[in-house]
Structure 1
Amino acid sequence: MNGRTIARVAATVTSLGIGAVLTLTGPASAAPDAAIDQAVTHLTERAGTDQAARAGVDALGSYTKLVDVAQLRDIAGAWAPFAYAAPTFGCGSNGPITTIIAAGTTEGNNRDQGASPEPGTLRFSATPSHSGAPLSSGLVVAWLNVNNGHSGIDALDDMTEFNLPTLSKTVRTGPGTVIASMWGVIGYPGAHCVMTPTVGTFVVPEIPAAASAPAAPETAPAAPQPAPAIVPGS
């Protein structure tokens, strides 16, 4: 399966998946948002001629047309899966088509060695149905913060202490609501899994303001001292 074929399959499967999301959420009521359109255009330019990346960014662009961006800016949450499990091809004995569950996690100050990212960041992760430890990760996520306009295309290239892929990546999105798509390939012994794009919505909490230094306690005014007595004849 070459890159063009993968991109065509990805585009077809993604359109079906996004259609399912639209069916579940009802008719789209999103109004055009110039900042969001500009950010999607920027991501498309970054994808360049990479057919798989273009399919992933196109999925993200289509998703922005199906959701109400204004309402997304006010939702909240800590952990959320992508909208649907991504159909995946080439995973050997598990069948011609398997799935990957992708998710985004944010837990404020509870860092836990990166599993729960610090405020202002979002950790993307993927859980394939294929058994065994992956040997390599070619997964990619394209994301867009609808509150601050920040966006990016990042590889899920975090590694374990044993130099094996974690199939995850923590990105600095800034606080706000983030929409994203994920796609790519995962290498296993004897299998090469090709993940078609999936899309999702995630919320990054506000970065807490730095605690201000406690005010110094007020010093009580000194008690008035009596005037010195005058000694006669001195």
Structure 2
Amino acid sequence: MTVRTIARLAATAAALGIATAATFAGADAEPAKSPLDTAIDQLTAAAGPDPAAHVGVESVAKAAHLITAARIDHIAGGFAPFAYQAPTIGCGDNFVTLTAASGVSGQPGPARGIAGGPSTLRFHATPAVTGFPIAAGLTVAWLNVSNGHSGIAPLDDQTDYHLPGLSKTVETGAGTVVASMWGTINYPASLCVMTPTVGMFTVTDDPVPGLDPNAAPAQPIPGNTAPAPRSGTSDPTAAPSPAIR
């Protein structure tokens, strides 16, 4: 075997080794995560060691992947209930009841009702029990599949009497938001444990720049509107028409 042949074999072996190493390196490298997966990771980290929070986050993650895969975003209205009423344990006279949950997207203008401003979403829970709650530990986890924003927030709004309002308004930004709600509600004679429920909501964007959404519509000034002249009559304030020759 000549020296030239040995050099060729060594070069070929070196090239094969480099190609094999590159193949294994490419197989070990993880694909880049999508913004949705990154947002889910952030929600999972925010849930911490709380098992109930992890169940809620998993529900949000499954719904978010379903929505993006099926391309069914931007189909909900300004007000929408969660997909199903949450089974609730220990609430009222019955051992198992249902809790209705809803979301209201923000609206422009002064007459928003219970909704907040644009790019917000207001969550609310309604247990099937009479009376006023004295304490609440409800939580909502939400994820905007359109912009990747997410968060976990307590429903800690209070009424004018400093009682739990069972609601919360969050800044989600515009887009399609999936959310899960769960937690506890205390009444004087019972403790309600609400299991997670999942919903999908469309949040509107900010109003058109340059327009004041709080501005009241212009109203006509009383006594400043003259009735239109009847057919066949002329307007006495109009300039005379030139004579036709």
State the TM-score, normalizing by the size of structure 1: 0.72
Number of equivalences: 180
Matching of residues 32-111 of structure 1 within 5 Å: 34-68=34-68, 71-93=71-93, 95-110=94-109
Correspondence for 1:135? 134
**In structure 2, what residue type is equivalent to 1:207?**
D
> Is contact 1:184–1:195 with CA below 8 Å preserved after alignment?
yes
Question: How far did residue 200 of structure 1 move?
Answer: 0.5
Correspondence for 2:157? 158
Instruction: Encode CA deviations 1:185-219: one digit per residue, 9 max, x unaligned.
Output: 00001111000000000011111132169xxxxxx
Question: How far did residue 113 of structure 1 move?
Answer: 7.4
Going from structure 1 to structure 2, the CA distance change for 1:43 and 1:111 (only over 3 Å counts) comes to farther
Please tell me whether residue 145 in structure 1 is matched to residue 155 in structure 2: no
> Is contact 1:185–1:193 with CA below 8 Å preserved after alignment?
yes
Question: How far did residue 35 of structure 1 move?
Answer: 1.4
State the TM-score, normalizing by the size of structure 2: 0.69
Going from structure 1 to structure 2, the CA distance change for 1:34 and 1:123 (only over 3 Å counts) comes to same
Question: How far did residue 72 of structure 1 move?
Answer: 3.8
> Is contact 2:91–2:128 with CA below 8 Å preserved after alignment?
no
Aligned equivalents of 1:69, 1:202: Cα separation in 2: 17
Question: How far did residue 135 of structure 1 move?
Answer: 0.7
Aligned equivalents of 1:110, 1:135: Cα separation in 2: 33
Question: How far did residue 73 of structure 1 move?
Answer: 3.8
Aligned equivalents of 1:197, 1:142: Cα separation in 2: 10
Aligned equivalents of 1:111, 1:178: Cα separation in 2: 24
Greater gyration radius: 2
Question: How far did residue 66 of structure 1 move?
Answer: 2.8
Going from structure 1 to structure 2, the CA distance change for 1:212 and 1:96 (only over 3 Å counts) comes to closer
Structure 1, unaligned runs of 5 or more: 1-32, 214-234
Question: How far did residue 117 of structure 1 move?
Answer: 1.0
Q: 4+ residue stretches of structure 1 with deviation over 3 A?
A: 110-114
Question: How far did residue 112 of structure 1 move?
Answer: 5.2
Aligned equivalents of 2:83, 2:58: Cα separation in 1: 16
Going from structure 1 to structure 2, the CA distance change for 1:111 and 1:181 (only over 3 Å counts) comes to farther
> Is contact 2:67–2:73 with CA below 8 Å preserved after alignment?
no
Aligned equivalents of 1:112, 1:192: Cα separation in 2: 36
Going from structure 1 to structure 2, the CA distance change for 1:181 and 1:167 (only over 3 Å counts) comes to same
Secondary structure of 2:156 counterpart: coil
**In structure 2, what residue type is equivalent to 1:139?**
L
> Is contact 1:144–1:178 with CA below 8 Å preserved after alignment?
yes
Aligned equivalents of 2:170, 2:106: Cα separation in 1: 14
Structure 2, unaligned runs of 5 or more: 1-32, 213-245
Matching of residues 199-218 of structure 1 within 5 Å: 199-211=198-210
Deviates more, 1:108-117 or 1:147-156: 108-117
Correspondence for 1:30? none
> Is contact 2:133–2:185 with CA below 8 Å preserved after alignment?
yes
Fraction of identical pairs, as percent = 50
Aligned equivalents of 1:59, 1:183: Cα separation in 2: 11
CA RMSD of aligned residues (A): 2.0
Matching of residues 152-191 of structure 1 within 5 Å: 152-191=151-190
